[in-house]
Amino acid sequence: MKNIGINGYGTIGKRVADAVSAQDDMKIVGVTKRTPDFEAKSAVENGYDLYISAPEKESQFEEAGIEISGTADELFEKLDLVVDCTPGGIGAQNKTDIYEKIGLKAIFEGGEDHDAIGSSFNAEANYESNLGKDYVRVVSCNTTGLCRTLKPINDIAGIKKVRAVMVRRGADPNDVKKGPINSIVPTTEVPSHHGPDVQTIIDDINVMTMALLVPTTLMHQHNIMVELEDNITTDDVLDAFEKAHRVLPVQKSLKLGSTAELMEYAKDLGRSRGDMYEIPVWQESVNVENGELYYMQAVHQESDVVPENVDAIRAMLELEEDGEKSILKTNKAMGIL
């Protein structure tokens, strides 16, 4: 039973905490928080020991009636591995300032640069190459989404070139400060940074991406065009998606024709926090024409990387040598379809 901690109990951190707790070979020893807010309060209510990363705020936690178990530094001493879910850029600082100094293995999220961490992770695509590593970055929600569906296509047909347009949600559901309220905001750097990020996982893949922001909070949506090496049919692709891990073919004809209805479906499945860990692909959109594959998928930005974090822990601590076995174990514990 390995001892895991979460540094930064926020959108991703709280989900990873629950996912780790659902496994039988690892457990959460504690989580950290800077600010005494409702998330800190519910961390304690949900049974997690809370450590504060800003010791000078101890009295604020007391006033808010939130029990703390110590400081972040005290937590780190008890751990086999920390999952760093702090805001983008802070993780890389923590690596050099803290984790390397005390010799603590650490996972970082997609807000960090590949180069700052050294290794990037996607369970299906490169589990084995991360076995025993000390510092690993689980790639971002969007990159994870692209890897999940491009890997099986690459396996069955070979990929010449991918073109993907990523329609990103403007802000997370509970982020009420960020807009836009009524606008489309293109990322005018074309190609965007998402393509190179896929290449940190799948070597030599030729991926060109464009991205934009829209006024919604629920999910990202991807429009993907793949020039194929080999001659395959639409059914071959549907079959590959059906077999792939953490990819969920969905039907518009069952009233699942939007990101909102997909989120409703996740709630109906009884998922914790209404999460959708899989990448849903709209079956009706999958189409091979003249050697090119077209399809549309969605990405639940708050949760698709959560099972990847669990698998990354298992790889780094060498709890399991076979990626496939880790994926199946994680999926079963989390109720992934």
What mask of x and - would describe binding to its own copies in positions 9 to 38, judged by CB under 8 A? -----x--------------------xxxx
Q: Does 221 bind its own copies (CB under 8 A)?
A: yes
In angstroms, what is the minimal distance from the CB of 242 to its own copies?
14
**DSSP label at residue 96:** I
- Amino acid of residue 320: E
Shortest Å, Cβ 189 to its own copies:
7
Rounded to whole angstroms, the Cα distance separating 44 from 66 reads 7
**Binding its own copies by CB under 8 A: which of 78, 183, 242, 325?**
183
The binder of its own copies chosen from 16, 117, 219, 316 (CB under 8 A): 219
Contact letters for its own copies, residues 46-65 (x by CB under 8 A): x-----------------x-
**Half-sphere CA count of 325, side-chain side, radius 13 A:** 8
If 0-12 CB within 10 Å is exposed, 13-18 middle and 19+ buried, where does residue 238 land? middle
C-alpha distances in Å from residue 124, one per residue of 89, 157, 184, 323: 26, 17, 33, 7
CB of 320 to its own copies, least distance (A): 28
Q: Which residues contact 130 (CB under 8 A, 6 or more apart)?
A: 119, 121, 136, 312, 315, 316
Q: Which of residues 187-216 bind its own copies (CB under 8 A)?
A: 188-191, 208, 210, 212, 214-216
What's the Rg (C-alpha) of the chain?
20
Interface residue with its own copies, options 58, 73, 100, 175 (CB under 8 A):
175
Residues in region 100-119 near its own copies by CB under 8 A: none
Q: Is 141 a catalytic residue?
A: yes
286 to 305: interface string for its own copies, x by CB under 8 A: xx-x--x-xxx-x-------
Which residues lie closer than 8 Å to 93 by C-beta, 6 or more apart? none
Q: By the 8 A CB rule, do 224 and 294 touch?
A: yes
Residue whose tokens read 């606008």: 183
In the complex, minimum distance from the CB of residue 79 to its own copies, in angstroms, rounded to a whole number: 23
Locate 107 and state its tokens: 């996972």
Q: Which is nearer to its own copies, 157 or 298 (CB)?
A: 298
Residues 229-288 that bind its own copies (CB under 8 A): 252-261, 263-265, 267-270, 272-274, 282, 284-287
130: three-class secondary structure by DSSP: helix
The active-site residue, picked from 141, 162, 201, 202, is 141
Which is nearer to its own copies, 243 or 255 (by Cβ)? 255
| C-alpha distances out from residue 304 to 146, 250, 301, Å | 11, 16, 6
- In whole angstroms, the minimum distance from the beta carbon of 9 to its own copies comes to 10
**Angstrom distance (rounded) from CA 1 to CA 131:** 18
CB nearer its own copies, residue 25 or residue 284: 284
Residues with catalytic function:
141
